[in-house]
Amino acid sequence: MTMRCLFALLVAVLPTVSHAGAWPRGEGNGFAVLSLESTYDRSALTWDDPSEEPPLARNYLKFYGEYGLTDRYTLGVELEQDYLFVQRQGIVFLTASIVPQDWVNRISVELGAGERRGQFGPRGQEETEPVVRPALYYGRGFETRWGQGWAGADLKAEHRFDSEETAYKLDLTLGVNHGDDTLHYAQIQSAKFEGEDTAARLLLSRVSRVNRVLWLETGLLAGLVTDDSVGIRIALWAEF
């Protein structure tokens, strides 16, 4: 089985309330996210035949955590669970900023390694294979009439050694931090898996502060290219 709709969990947004991406987390600062994405094929919206099985939901749970080792280096971990395809993945990564901290354009590189486990063997049996994932991040902040804006691009190449496959993923993000404990962002998530067409979907999301530590994200997902899914995203963000 494939993971055509497997995408990265968060966008490279402002360093104060999100996944660092192009922006370093900063020495001694931590951030964690627990997210759930639940999607259906669009046919579920018009399904009305009780004699047939209803379309299955694809539930995707992910934990992301990072900690600033220095003002330049960020150490982190990603844990993922795809319930529909019974697949799991864990990656530990190190991100490094490669431009001066006062530059308007922010660029970071990342190297991650871990393992993927799931029922993707030739007879459907569970197997485990090592994974390595280099990444390149670009970000830029700017002022808008609605608050502090940002734009970001995340490019990842995830290589799976045993299956000898490489998945390429690109996320493009545009958002605004309103400065009143809320932010909005739109993100186009795209992925190319070997032997498959490029798939892309749109995420529209709102993030609101719950208390001094927690933020709540609620979003809508819709497939754009080679992806007929629709769904929701719910996540808790924590700063520490």
Residues in contact with 107: Cβ distance below 8 Å, sequence separation at least 6, in sequence order: 22, 97, 98, 99, 136, 137, 138, 139
Of the candidate ranges 104-108, 131-135, 153-157, 161-165, the one whose mean pLDDT is the lowest = 161-165
Predicted confidence (pLDDT) at residue 23 exceeds the cutoff of 60: yes
Largest CA distance in the chain: 62
Q: What share of the chain in percent tops pLDDT 90?
A: 55
pLDDT band for 6, please (50, 70, 90 cuts): very low
Q: Is domain 30-45+58-239 annotated with CATH 2.40.50.320?
A: no
Predicted confidence (pLDDT) at residue 209 exceeds the cutoff of 70: yes
Q: Residue type for 188, please?
A: I
Q: What is the mean pLDDT of the chain?
A: 84
Q: What angle do CA 12, 15, 17 make, to 5 degrees?
A: 95
Most confident of 17-26, 44-53, 212-221: 212-221
DSSP H stretches of helix in 42-147? none
* Domain residue ranges of the chain, discontinuous segments joined by +: 30-45+58-239
Average pLDDT over residues 131-148: 92
